[in-house]
């Protein structure tokens, strides 16, 4: 129990970590809402949750929470040590933040944004998304179950092919998302093939501060 408490609460710079954690997952929700409104796709996990939530008539936040809770049960059965406060924050705040921002964004943007407007909003939103995801990982308070599960699978069964396992995991979720008419587009492909290296660039340069 003492080890668990230290893992969740006894880290250095804890107030800063918590502030960055909360702000990063809320801004992730903002970015997801913006991506979906611009019709450029979202990250694979959000894409599937958006598709299912619209099919069965529940909020995106509730679907995102339920999906990650299901994955968390599997993660706990394999190895729970990668979970933490960041896990719970991602499960709850990201989806419900997107639900909060959806009507605000849709009241500001036209129903079908023009291509120049989409590009003009998409590029800074993508930059913000990459930054806040990097911050979320830098604070190192636990990963989302969606991210933890393929990592655990790779570590246990395919340690030499960790990147490939993650790509195949994302592609599988996207295929499932297409069955539910999820939000799939250019941003989805960018997340699958390029998000990891870009975030690695940030964490390599700023990760030492949080160690």
Is 56 within the bounds of a domain?
Answer: yes
The dihedral built from the CA positions of residue 48, 50, 51 and 57, taken in this order, carries a sign that is positive
For 109, phi then psi, to 5°, come to: -85, 150
Fill in the DSSP letter of residue 90.
I
pLDDT at 6 over 60: no
Q: Within 79-94, where are the H helices?
A: 85-89
146-168 residue pLDDT tens: 999 998 998 888 888 888 999 99
Residue numbers of the domain that contains 186:
15-210
**What is the pTM (predicted TM-score) of this model?**
0.90
The answer to whether residue 96 sits within a structural domain is yes
3 within a domain of the structure (yes/no): no
**Model confidence at 2, in pLDDT bands (50, 70, 90)?**
very low
55 Cβ contact partners less than 8 Å away, ≥ 6 residues apart: 180, 181
Domain count for the chain, please give it.
1
């Amino acid at each position: 129990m003492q080890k668990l408490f230290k893992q969740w609460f006894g880290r250095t710079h804890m107030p800063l970590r918590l502030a960055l954690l909360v702000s990063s997952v809320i801004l992730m929700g903002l970015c997801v809402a913006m991506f979906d409104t611009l019709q450029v796709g979202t990250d694979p996990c959000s894409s599937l949750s958006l598709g299912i939530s619209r099919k069965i008539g529940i909020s995106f936040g509730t679907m995102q929470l339920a999906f990650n809770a299901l994955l968390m049960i599997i993660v706990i059965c394999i190895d729970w040590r990668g979970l933490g406060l960041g896990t719970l924050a991602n499960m709850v705040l990201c989806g419900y933040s997107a639900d909060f921002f959806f009507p605000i964004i849709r009241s500001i943007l036209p129903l079908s944004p023009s291509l120049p407007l989409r590009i003009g909003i998409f590029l800074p939103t993508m930059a913000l998304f990459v930054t806040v995801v990097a911050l979320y990982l830098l604070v190192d308070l636990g990963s989302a179950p969606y991210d933890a599960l393929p990592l655990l699978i790779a570590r246990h069964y395919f340690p030499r092919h960790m990147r490939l396992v993650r790509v195949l995991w994302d592609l599988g979720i996207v295929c499932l998302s297409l069955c539910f008419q999820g939000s799939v587009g250019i941003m989805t492909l960018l997340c699958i093939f390029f998000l990891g290296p870009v975030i690695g660039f940030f964490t390599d340069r700023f990760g030492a501060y949080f160690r």
